[in-house]
Amino acid sequence: MNLARSLTLTHSDSTLIARCQKADIAAFNEIVARYKGKIFNYVYRMTGSMEDAEDLTQEVFVRMYTNIGSFRAEASLSTWLFRIAGNLCVDAFRRGKKERGVVTSLDAPTRGDDPDEAHGTRDVPDWSHEPTALLSRKELGAEIQGALQKLPPKLRSAVVLHDIEGLAYDEIAVAEGIPLGTVKSRIFNARVALREHLRPYLES
Amino acid sequence: MRNFSPTNKQRTGGAATTVAALFAVGSLVGAGVVLALQAAVTPTHAWAQQQAKEEKDASKEDRAVRLLRRMVLAEMRKAFVAREATLNADGRGTEQWVKRDPRRGIRRESIRPPGMIWIDNYRRSYRINTRENRVVESDSLLPRPDGARVQEFLHRFTGQLITPEVVGEDRVAGRSAHIVAVTGPATVRRFWIDKKTGLRLKTEEYNRSGKLLSSSSYSSVDLSPKFTEEDFRPPPDMRVVKDNRRRFDSLQAAEKAGVKVARPRWVPAGYGLRNVEALRDGRSVTLRYTNGIDVLSLTQFAPDKAPPHLRKRVEKEGSSFLPFPRGQRGYVWRDGERTFLLISSLSDDQVRRVAESLP
Amino acid sequence: MATMLDCRRVQPLLSEYVDGALSEETAWDVKMHVASCAVCQRVADDFAGTAELLGGLAHVEPSANFESVLAARLADLSVKPHRPSLREQVSEWWYARGSVGRPALASAAAFAFVVPLIMVTLTLRQGAVDAVNGTAVVKQSNAAASPASDAEALERLYDDHAAYSSSLLLGDSSAVLTPADSRL
């Protein structure tokens, strides 16, 4: 393994932030490289659109760059980035242009908008003995995304952060700026709704 | 198989068949038949009818006891493989293989959901978790046919403290069976006993309010199975969690070995102390009482050795109940430095009475 | 928490239960209820199922030219990272979702409310993590003399009780295959 690469990989977030606060563009690039996937994935699951996700994720890092000075060292960088991303999504929904509603028409998946298309797997063995084997992985992915789109954005954000991004309840509380109890009830309510929407895929 | 003794045959003579049909309970036993016959012939005095009824009941009980004895012997003497389906109180089902070899022991292996095996080969007992590749090993719990427990059961079990009763007939796994109900203070258990072999084909468990707790029934029985030694040994390459307890048959034996334990002054009628288990590290001692069908496990923890979960519970709620599977309940309480846990299916009052009777 | 939970009290906890986010005592009570209640078991399975479905979604990646576009945007902005005023810092930190530019949790009361909550969470989570780690410890240690975790200690006490019940001449030996932990 490349020694320089293995060294850079070990830089902690706080080191990178400190360097970034001193206008070290290499450190900034490293933060982008480290978090763009997570943030993009979150924004995509929030908006259901690859184009919007690309645009909003760019904006997250622009905001991070301009506000890096206000970042407190003891806070978690990823939580902060999710908070910025969440706020941007809400702003976008409020502008009313990015909220797609249910865009999961199986007949006409938008070009490039379907992440599961890239994997192109119609024969995923994991699903072979499940009822969901009737659906390809791509179709199942579209169904799940459709179910997410039906949730109110607040519930969607909480459940995406937990189940997809792997944040703990308390991290979500910080990222969303809400009490822990609210995180719990949002995730609960999201699952109640998802259970209804995804019932056919929850058998056995 | 017929149960009539030559004397009974002589006394009842040719009427036996008719009377047996009249009562429709299969192979009736002498005394009851005779008295019932007398009652039928001379239906004069109320006292005679009453006496006839009592005698008939007594004979029914004897018959139930005999069937249970036969079942216990058959289970120890016969080799068989059965597929068993269990339905639990919540409607969830499991399936398992039951393999019994009179010489080698018993093996129960879950089919659905898979992952659990229990083997007892008279020497050691193994609870095997195949998913975690882990086996918990302990002393054998399987009664030996010539052991004291079995002999005591066969010779002294009269059904005085738990009441067995023949309640009907049925077919299970294509075989004809007697149904015997055993009523204890906390549980009712019904056994379907194969008429041909005496083997138990089905077991149902109810609590005293009539709620079905579990029902286990053989769907197939093979009476000439082929076993290998491997069937009664844990699979190789498993991580063995060693037994960390010492077992004693009596309190005296435990005390002789230096185990200090408080004994409750009161347990419900019919329960006897059968077993004392002490963790080697001195953390806890468990007294096990049974009345033949229900078990009462009283664990006392050394100061500060109760699982934190139980300690927290007692600190927050005081003495309290906690749930366990299959209708069993725990009751946890504290007395000075000692923490106690009682697992049983007793009523609230009985549980508290046991707790209060500890010195 | 009272003992013996009923469905009405268990169901609101099931989401946290499947996430392993409950305190040990509550988790035990919920687990025992779920083990004896097909309805709650179903809900718990479904909740776990939704989490699994979401967790199994393909991970999406931004386009290959993400960095170059970002660089261009930053160049257009021609701004440097700036060190904001204290007011801006406070405002940014307590900047709540959906209330752009308005510090929603600025009051001392709100502060006092949120901080203990987060601390309680951390304590609760620690408990849950310990329970999980406890199981993991047993998995790693050979011939563990004493059960490593709390829940396991309790399960073992029940399993011994059930094993003894099963060994009775008139016992129901199927109990030995339904130990306390078999549902999880």
**ipTM confidence:** 0.76
pLDDT tens string C24-74: 889 989 988 888 788 898 999 999 999 999 999 988 999 988 988 888 888
Nearest CA in chain B to C149: B307
At B313, is the secondary structure helix, strand, or coil?
helix
Contact C43, A27 (CB under 8 A): no
> How far does the CA of residue A2 sit from the closest CA of chain C (Å)?
22
Nearest Cα to A60, choosing from A73, A42, A48?
Answer: A42
Question: What are the CA-CA distances from residue C97 to residues A64, A157, B199, B265 (Å)?
Answer: 16, 11, 69, 63
What is the mean pLDDT of the segment spanning B273-300?
91
Question: Over 70: is that where the pLDDT of C184 sits?
Answer: no
pLDDT category at B280 given cuts 50, 70, 90 is confident
Q: What percent of chain C has pLDDT over 70?
A: 52
Interface A–C counts its CB contacts (< 8 A) at 167
Contact A115, A141 (CB under 8 A): yes
* Best C124, C169, C183 residue to mutate vs chain B (most B CBs within 10 Å): C169
Structure tokens at A126: 């994991």
Contact C19 A162 (CB under 8 A): yes
The answer, yes or no, to whether A and B have at least 3 beta-carbon pairs within 8 Å is no
Position B109 scores a pLDDT of 92
Cα–Cα distance measured from residue A176 to residue A125, given in angstroms and rounded to the nearest whole number: 37
Structure tokens at A15: 């080191």
Q: Which residue has the higher pLDDT, A126 or B335?
A: B335
| Phi, psi for C152 (deg, rounded to 5) | -70, -40
The contacts of residue B69 (CB under 8 Å, 6+ apart) are B153, B154, B157
Q: Which range in B103-107, C141-145, C176-180 is most confidently predicted, on average pLDDT?
A: B103-107
* Best C43, C133, C170, C176 residue to mutate vs chain B (most B CBs within 10 Å): C170
Q: What percent of chain C has pLDDT over 90?
A: 18
Contact C168 B295 (CB under 8 A): yes
Structure tokens at C129: 């993590």
> Alpha helix locations (H) across chain A?
3-9, 13-21, 25-47, 50-67, 77-95, 115-119, 137-150, 153-159, 169-176, 180-197
Question: What are the CA-CA distances from residue B290 to residues A99, B161, B162, B275 (Å)?
Answer: 66, 11, 11, 9
Task: Give the strands of the sheet with B272-279, arranged side by side.
Answer: B245-248, B272-279, B284-290, B295-301, B338-344, B329-335, B320-323
Taking contacts as CB-CB distances below 8 angstroms, the residues of chain C near B286 are 157, 160
* Best B212, B295, B317, B329 residue to mutate vs chain C (most C CBs within 10 Å): B295
Nearest CA in chain C to A32: C67
Position B81 scores a pLDDT of 95
DSSP 8-state class, residue C59? P
> How far does the CA of residue C50 sit from the closest CA of chain A (Å)?
7
Position B183 scores a pLDDT of 85
Contact A89, A157 (CB under 8 A): yes
What is the mean pLDDT of the segment spanning B39-43?
44
Position B85 scores a pLDDT of 92
**Picking from B277-291, C75-89, C138-152, which range would have the lowest pLDDT averaged per residue?**
C138-152
Question: Over 70: is that where the pLDDT of A8 sits?
Answer: no
Taking contacts as CB-CB distances below 8 angstroms, the residues of chain A near C47 are 191, 195
Taking contacts as CB-CB distances below 8 angstroms, the residues of chain C near B342 are none
pLDDT tens string A187-200: 999 999 999 999 98
Contact C45 A202 (CB under 8 A): yes
pLDDT tens string A39-55: 999 999 999 999 999 99
Question: Over 70: is that where the pLDDT of B281 sits?
Answer: yes
Position C52 scores a pLDDT of 93
Give the predicted TM-score (pTM) of the model.
Answer: 0.64
Q: Which residues pair with B98 in a beta bridge?
A: B82, B108
Taking contacts as CB-CB distances below 8 angstroms, the residues of chain C near A44 are 60
Q: Which residue has the higher pLDDT, A182 or B212?
A: A182
Cα–Cα distance measured from residue C91 to residue A180, given in angstroms and rounded to the nearest whole number: 21
Taking contacts as CB-CB distances below 8 angstroms, the residues of chain A near C119 are none
pLDDT tens string B75-116: 888 999 999 998 877 667 889 999 999 999 999 998 988 888
Contact B92 C38 (CB under 8 A): yes
Taking contacts as CB-CB distances below 8 angstroms, the residues of chain A near C111 are none
Taking contacts as CB-CB distances below 8 angstroms, the residues of chain C near B141 are 163-164, 166-167
Q: Which residues pair with C87 in a beta bridge?
A: none
- Chains touching A, CB cut-off 8 Å, 3+ pairs: C
Cα–Cα distance measured from residue B219 to residue B239, given in angstroms and rounded to the nearest whole number: 33
Task: Please report, to the nearest 10 degrees, the dihedral formed by the alpha carbons of residues A181, A184, A187, A192 taken in order.
Answer: -100
Q: Which residue has the higher pLDDT, A33 or C4?
A: A33
Q: Is C130 on the interface with A (CB under 8 A)?
A: no
Q: How many CB atoms within 10 Å of residue A99?
A: 18
Nearest CA in chain C to B135: C143
pLDDT tens string B135-180: 988 888 888 877 777 877 777 666 666 778 899 999 998 999 999 9
pLDDT tens string B198-221: 999 999 988 878 888 889 999 999
Contact A115 C59 (CB under 8 A): yes
Cα–Cα distance measured from residue A122 to residue A114, given in angstroms and rounded to the nearest whole number: 14
Position A56 scores a pLDDT of 94
- The gap between the terminal CA atoms of chain C, to the nearest Å, is 22
pLDDT category at A38 given cuts 50, 70, 90 is very high
Question: Over 70: is that where the pLDDT of B26 sits?
Answer: no
Nearest CA in chain C to A44: C60
Cα–Cα distance measured from residue A201 to residue A135, given in angstroms and rounded to the nearest whole number: 10
Contact B193, B200 (CB under 8 A): yes
Position B284 scores a pLDDT of 93
Contact B90 C171 (CB under 8 A): no
Sign of CA dihedral A66, A72, A77, A83: negative
- Chains touching C, CB cut-off 8 Å, 3+ pairs: A, B
Taking contacts as CB-CB distances below 8 angstroms, the residues of chain B near C137 are none
Contact C178 B326 (CB under 8 A): yes
Nearest Cα to A200, choosing from A122, A142, A124, A143?
Answer: A143
Task: Please report, to the nearest 10 degrees, the dihedral formed by the alpha carbons of residues C169, C170, C175, C180 taken in order.
Answer: -80
> How far does the CA of residue C162 sit from the closest CA of chain A (Å)?
28
* Best C160, C181, C184 residue to mutate vs chain B (most B CBs within 10 Å): C160
Q: Could you identify the residue written with the tokens 């943030």?
A: A39
Position B57 scores a pLDDT of 66
- Chains touching B, CB cut-off 8 Å, 3+ pairs: C
pLDDT tens string B225-257: 999 989 999 888 888 887 788 889 899 999 999
Structure tokens at B45: 């005095």
At B247, is the secondary structure helix, strand, or coil?
strand
Question: Over 70: is that where the pLDDT of B316 sits?
Answer: yes
Q: What percent of chain A has pLDDT over 70?
A: 74
Nearest CA in chain B to C163: B141
Average pLDDT of every residue of chain B: 81
- Overall size of chain A counted in residues: 204
Contact B280 C182 (CB under 8 A): no
> How far does the CA of residue A129 sit from the closest CA of chain C (Å)?
15
Cα–Cα distance measured from residue C175 to residue B215, given in angstroms and rounded to the nearest whole number: 10
| Chain C, window 44-63: residues with a beta carbon less than 8 angstroms from a chain A beta carbon | 45-47, 49-51, 53-55, 57-63
Position C176 scores a pLDDT of 64
Contact B105, B130 (CB under 8 A): no
Which of C51, C66, C98 shows the shortest C-beta gap to A163?
Answer: C51
pLDDT category at B194 given cuts 50, 70, 90 is very high
pLDDT tens string A95-120: 875 444 444 333 333 334 444 444 43
Cα–Cα distance measured from residue A49 to residue A168, given in angstroms and rounded to the nearest whole number: 26
Position A59 scores a pLDDT of 93
At B132, is the secondary structure helix, strand, or coil?
coil
Which of A62, A91, A195 shows the shortest C-beta gap to C100?
Answer: A91
What is the mean pLDDT of the segment spanning B263-267?
94
Contact C83 A178 (CB under 8 A): no
Nearest CA in chain B to C172: B203
pLDDT tens string C70-127: 888 888 776 555 555 454 444 444 433 333 333 333 333 333 333 333 333 333 333 3
Cα–Cα distance measured from residue B336 to residue B169, given in angstroms and rounded to the nearest whole number: 54
